């Protein structure tokens, strides 16, 4: 089986189009933290790795997100670190090529749950915030 080759040039072309598929993967982080827990690693192994393998020729975007607590000046770099630790784990633990991944940090700008009205999703405010402290995986179409 030929090994796929990933490059910066290939990524530059891939990112000109929006991601074809985005999968929210509940890689949760404690408030203010970008540390991967054992549970987070298991979720990467069980949910993210098969998804990436099933899209074997595609470039992948890993985006980090935060809840709305704190300023954008704090949240955006934190969300970037969250995505970076996931990519580092995928590269070191699973031997995916680093050039295959684009890391982005959304801060609190792309919430899954509306923290202003968490009841709409049947959640408490804290559970809603936890939903937003996640990492998502997106696939760029070829």
Calculate ∠ Cα 104-107-109, nearest 5°: 105
What sign does the CA torsion over 44, 47, 53, 56 have? Answer: negative
pLDDT per residue as tens digits for the range 85-122: 999 999 999 999 999 999 999 999 999 899 999 999 89
Distant-in-sequence, close-in-space partners of 45: CB < 8 Å, separation ≥ 6: 93
Cα distance between residue 93 and residue 11, in whole Å: 22
User: For 30-83, how does the pLDDT look when each residue is reduced to its tens digit (9 = 90+)?
Assistant: 889 999 999 999 999 999 999 999 998 899 999 999 999 999 999 999 999 999
pTM score of the predicted model: 0.88
């Amino acid at each position: 089986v030929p090994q796929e080759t990933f490059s910066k040039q290939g990524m530059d072309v891939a990112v000109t189009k929006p991601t074809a598929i985005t999968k929210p993967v509940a890689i949760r982080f404690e408030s203010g933290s970008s540390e991967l827990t054992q549970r987070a690693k298991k979720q990467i192994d069980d949910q993210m790795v098969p998804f990436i393998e099933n899209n074997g020729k595609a470039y992948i975007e890993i985006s980090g997100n935060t809840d709305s607590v704190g300023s954008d000046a704090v949240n955006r770099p934190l969300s970037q670190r969250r995505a970076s630790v996931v990519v580092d784990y995928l590269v070191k633990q699973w031997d995916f090529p680093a050039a295959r991944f684009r890391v982005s940090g959304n801060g609190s700008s792309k919430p899954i749950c509306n923290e202003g009205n968490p009841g709409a999703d049947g959640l408490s405010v804290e559970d809603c915030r936890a939903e937003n402290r996640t990492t998502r995986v997106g696939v760029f179409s070829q």
